[in-house]
Amino acid sequence: MNETLKTINNRVSLRWYDKKKISSEHMDKIIESAISAPTAGNMVMYSIIHIQNKETMEKLAISCDDQPFIKAASDILIFVADFKKWNDYFKDEGMYKEGNRKIGKAEMILAFEDAMIASENAVIAGESLNIGSCYIGDILENCEYHKELLNLPEYTIPIGMLTFGYYPEDYKRIKRKRFDKEFVVFKEKYKELDKEEIKTMFKLKEDEFNSKESNKGKRFVEAFYNRKTNSDFMENFETSIDEWFKNWK
């Protein structure tokens, strides 16, 4: 395996960090790598908010579903899908004449793609420097709170957040299994899986779940569905997503 493939395949989500702060040289490399990612029409429809302030990290650790490891990170990058700057430019330069199209959902989706592609470049760049990271989806929760905390105007949505820190010495990486490739990669056209195939696909998760003594007598599907999809947490998350969409108008 070459170094790039090793870096990609070695990566795990890191939630324990070495106490050492990430050097500014390394953070610059991570940010430069993010910015060099592909971007639709070379429009760079995102902004990156670099957080080093411990107080802000402490606030995020609480507001992002109470995950204390967030405040132990050395640095945090928040990837904001952002059409505010282009929108202001178009407006200021008189492009929004009667009858002209204004921005909409198409730009929003492209901005999401731009921001997330850039974020994964940051992850891989970090990994190559022995810096681990973890995505935090919960930055999309608590819309009003995060909007204020980060000073986010209209046409911005914080689509991704990453915590960063050096791997602790002798850290044992545990690679989490993925579904078998046959259920994820289809040849030429999408393949709808039949009932049997769906059963086989999820057996991996069920076996993992059943291997734990504490799960004796429980069903994976029920435990997972109730913990995630059917939870109050996801209900609130959904409300927050509606709020973010309103921010894009």
Ligand X SMILES: Cc1cc2nc3c(=O)[nH]c(=O)nc-3n(C[C@H](O)[C@H](O)[C@H](O)COP(=O)(O)O)c2cc1C
Residues contributing to the site for ligand X (CB under 6 A): 12-13, 15, 67, 134-138, 176
Convert 152-191 to b/e letters by CB count within 10 Å (16 or more is b). beebbbbbbbbbbbbbeeeeeeeeeeeeeeebeeeeeeee
Cβ closest to ligand X, residue 10 vs residue 23 = 10
Cβ closest to ligand X, residue 30 vs residue 161 = 161
Cβ closest to ligand X, residue 33 vs residue 119 = 119
Minimum distance of ligand X from residue 136's CB (angstroms): 4
Q: Is 175 helix (H, G, I), strand (E, B) or coil?
A: coil
What are the residues whose beta carbons fall under 8 Å from the beta carbon of 3, sequence distance 6 or more? 128
Cβ closest to ligand X, residue 35 vs residue 116 = 116
How many angstroms separate the CA atoms of 48 and 167, rounded?
23
Minimum distance of ligand X from residue 133's CB (angstroms): 9
**Which two three-digit tokens encode residue 124?**
């891989």
Are 211 and 225 in contact by the 8 Å Cβ rule? The answer is no
Cβ closest to ligand X, residue 86 vs residue 224 = 224
Beta strands in 141-232 (DSSP E): 156-166
Minimum distance of ligand X from residue 239's CB (angstroms): 18
Minimum distance of ligand X from residue 216's CB (angstroms): 23
Minimum distance of ligand X from residue 60's CB (angstroms): 11
Select the residue whose beta carbon is closest to ligand X and give its number.
Answer: 137
Cβ closest to ligand X, residue 176 vs residue 187 = 176
Dihedrals phi, psi of 85, to nearest 5 degrees:
-70, -45
**Which two three-digit tokens encode residue 202?**
């999820």
Minimum distance of ligand X from residue 187's CB (angstroms): 25
Distances from the Cα of 24 to the Cα of 8, 37, 133, angstroms? 23, 20, 16
